[in-house]
Amino acid sequence: AQSVTQLGSHVSVSEGALVLLRCNYSSSVPPYLFWYVQYPNQGLQLLLKYTSAATLVKGINGFEAEFKKSETSFHLTKPSAHMSDAAEYFCAVSGSNAGNMLTFGGGTRLMVKP
Amino acid sequence: DTAVSQTPKYLVTQMGNDKSIKCEQNLGHDTMYWYKQDSKKFLKIMFSYNNKELIINETVPNRFSPKSPDKAHLNLHINSLELGDSAVYFCASSQGAGNYGYTFGSGTRLTVV
């Protein structure tokens, strides 16, 4: 079985501040981990993915995430928030269920204040 | 050139009606999915097809019936629509298993009145 927990359904930061979105996972096998972003009224866009190579993964739009096996975490960070980063962010895991389908966390809404 | 396209983007219909949502991908992927996103943004897998064969069918009412005429298309037909079916439905595709991520369509917002 696999699951994802995203701590904080809403995160608010000021423009230029550090963005930290938390994700913890549970998986019975080495996981594949993903972060997706959803802008209003749009589909999900892949930000980055961890597939058992480097533990620090760089994605699009300046985001990165670090896989920490000991903490079962895959937190998403960005050094300096921009207004355009305001969106819903989803962490997902695959690897230990039928069809290796993605299981998503509940999402975190990032708000960026001017 | 849209990779995963869904039609329609918006669908408003009355309870009891039957409706279909179409999905097409031009990525050459062999696996396609339907996800339901509820009003709290929670995403739940409904179906997964690999090369036109059903491989995952989560606990979805049998009023929902997926149809895959070929590996580039996965349509979703819903009979006897209920108020609780109102949600955003996303189609997605991947090459092989989902371990390298999915490509999502832009969603279909279904409103049942």
A87 to chain B, minimum CA–CA distance in Å? 12
> Are the beta carbons of B104 and A43 separated by less than 8 Å?
yes
Contact A5, A74 (CB under 8 A): no
* Residue A79 buriedness (CB in 10 A; 0-12 / 13-18 / 19+): exposed
| A90 has a chain B CB within 8 A of its CB | yes
> Are the beta carbons of B102 and A95 separated by less than 8 Å?
no
Residue B61 CB contacts under 8 Å (≥ 6 apart), including other chains: none
Q: Which residue of B has its CA nearest to A47?
A: B101
Strand partners, A112: A13
* Number of other residues whose CB lies within 10 A of the CB of residue A111: 12
Rounded CA separation A100/A102 (Å)? 7
Sign (positive/negative) of CA torsion B4, B24, B49, B90? positive
Residue B54 scores a pLDDT above 90 = no
Residue B108 scores a pLDDT above 80 = yes
> Are the beta carbons of B98 and A46 separated by less than 8 Å?
no
**So what's the pLDDT on residue A100?**
67
- Buried b vs exposed e over A80-107: b needs ≥16 C-beta within 10 Å? ebeeebbbbbbbbbbbbbebbbbbbbbb
| A5 has a chain B CB within 8 A of its CB | no
- Residues from chain B that touch A103, judged by Cβ atoms under 8 A, are 45
Q: Could you tell me the two tokens for A91? A: 């962490």
Note the pLDDT tens digit of each residue in A45-83: 999 999 877 899 999 999 999 999 999 999 999 999 999
Note the pLDDT tens digit of each residue in B7-48: 999 999 999 999 999 999 999 998 899 999 999 999 998 988
* Number of other residues whose CB lies within 10 A of the CB of residue B25: 23
Q: A residues 13-52 near B, CB within 8 Å?
A: 32, 34, 36, 38, 41-46, 49, 51
* Number of other residues whose CB lies within 10 A of the CB of residue B111: 14
Note the pLDDT tens digit of each residue in A13-46: 999 999 999 999 998 777 889 999 999 888 999 9
